[in-house]
């Protein structure tokens, strides 16, 4: 059974998946990637095989290899390795959940299936329950990302009574801009000692007064220092500084969006900014020309400079 779980706090990097130029997993990058996050970004936890990690574009075998390597390289260094195990097939999600437990992951997260979508909250709770039954000892987080899944059920509705069905349920990764639903979700989770992690990096500051415990996002791979600064400014009550730092990240994303920001661009930004070879995105995503990436990384460098 899943023990009581300490709350997840602070920034959690949604990791990119390093691929070779030929498009195969490049597991050798993960060791240096762990060190980069810790030493250069002061980010101490990771969320593996999620959207940023192209989890749904990877094979089962690749997802297992990545989960295993992140746990192996992160052992004794990272605070938490959370593995996303959501799949369209509940059986495959169970297999990944079982595997995550066997390699020492700290928690699992599950997105809603998005081809055949759950028709109501109960159907989604049943799906999550079946996944949890394969790894009952691991804390389970529901990963809410309606813009990508098209599953628009309110989280507050999904949470209703979920603890009775899923004893290992410990919270939500909330990647929606619906702050009303977020507030209700936080209120439900807080009463039960669970965590809510916000997933829209460019407006994290807006979610803090509602009581989110931490954040999972792609940009903390390269803007971790600045956003850690934003969190501590908020905690100290220095709102003008927190606002400045938050808007800096938004400025970068706005510029990237004007060029067509997507996961492929994000991944290439990470490679150029960090020096870690993340490699190409996987089809159907297409790589961007290098001059576009140079422009956006120049903007990122300007925005991050002298703020961290």
The site for ligand SI3 (CB under 6 A) is made up of 14, 47, 50-53, 148, 175, 199-202, 216-219, 253
Rounded least distance, CB 248 to ligand SI3, Å: 14
Neighbour-count burial of 286, counting CB atoms closer than 10 A to its CB (0-12 exposed, 13-18 middle, 19+ buried): exposed
Task: Provide the b/e sequence for 17-30 (b: ≥16 CB within 10 Å).
Answer: bbbeeeeebbbebb
Nearer Cβ to ligand SI3 (64/84): 84
Catalytic: which of 36, 143, 198, 222?
A: 143
Catalytic (active site) residue 222? no
Nearer Cβ to ligand SI3 (168/218): 218
Rounded least distance, CB 51 to ligand SI3, Å: 4
Rounded least distance, CB 110 to ligand SI3, Å: 11
52 is in an annotated binding site: yes
Catalytic (active site) residue 267? no
Identify the CA nearest to 124 among candidates 139, 142, 148, 147.
142
Nearer Cβ to ligand SI3 (167/282): 282
Identify the CA nearest to 203 among candidates 222, 217, 185.
217
Catalytic: which of 173, 248, 267, 299?
A: 173
CB 116 within 8 A of CB 149: no
Identify the CA nearest to 109 among candidates 160, 52, 33, 184.
52
Q: Which residues are annotated as a binding site for pyruvate?
A: 52, 216
Active-site residue list: 143, 173
Q: Which residues are annotated as a binding site?
A: 52, 216
């Amino acid at each position: 059974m899943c023990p009581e779980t300490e709350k997840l706090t602070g920034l959690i990097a949604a990791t990119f998946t390093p691929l070779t130029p030929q498009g195969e997993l490049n597991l050798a990058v993960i060791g240096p990637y762990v060190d980069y996050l810790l030493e250069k970004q002061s980010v101490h936890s990771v969320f593996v095989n999620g959207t940023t990690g192209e989890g749904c574009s990877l094979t089962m075998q690749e997802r297992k290899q990545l989960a295993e390597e992140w746990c192996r390289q992160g052992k004794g260094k990272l605070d938490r390795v959370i593995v996303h195990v959501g799949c369209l097939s509940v059986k495959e999600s169970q297999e990944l959940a079982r595997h995550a437990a066997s390699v020492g992951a700290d928690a699992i997260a599950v997105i809603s299936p998005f081809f055949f979508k759950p028709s109501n909250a109960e159907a989604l709770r049943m799906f999550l329950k079946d996944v949890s039954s394969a790894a009952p000892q691991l804390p389970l987080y529901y990963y809410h990302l309606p813009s990508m899944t098209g599953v628009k059920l309110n989280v507050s509705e999904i949470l209703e009574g979920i603890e009775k069905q899923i004893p290992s349920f410990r919270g939500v990764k909330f990647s929606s801009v619906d702050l009303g639903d977020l507030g209700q979700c936080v209120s439900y989770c807080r009463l039960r000692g669970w965590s809510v992690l916000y997933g829209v990096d460019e407006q994290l500051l807006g979610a803090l007064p509602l009581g989110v415990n931490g954040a999972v996002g792609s940009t903390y791979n390269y803007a971790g220092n600045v956003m850690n600064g934003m969190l501590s400014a908020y905690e100290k009550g220095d709102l003008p500084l927190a606002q400045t730092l938050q808007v800096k990240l938004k400025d970068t994303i706005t510029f990237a969006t004007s060029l067509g920001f997507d996961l492929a661009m994000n991944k290439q930004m990470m490679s150029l900014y960090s020096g870690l070879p993340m490699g190409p995105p996987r089809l159907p995503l297409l790589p961007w020309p290098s001059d576009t990436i140079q422009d956006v990384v120049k903007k990122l460098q300007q925005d991050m400079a002298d703020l961290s």
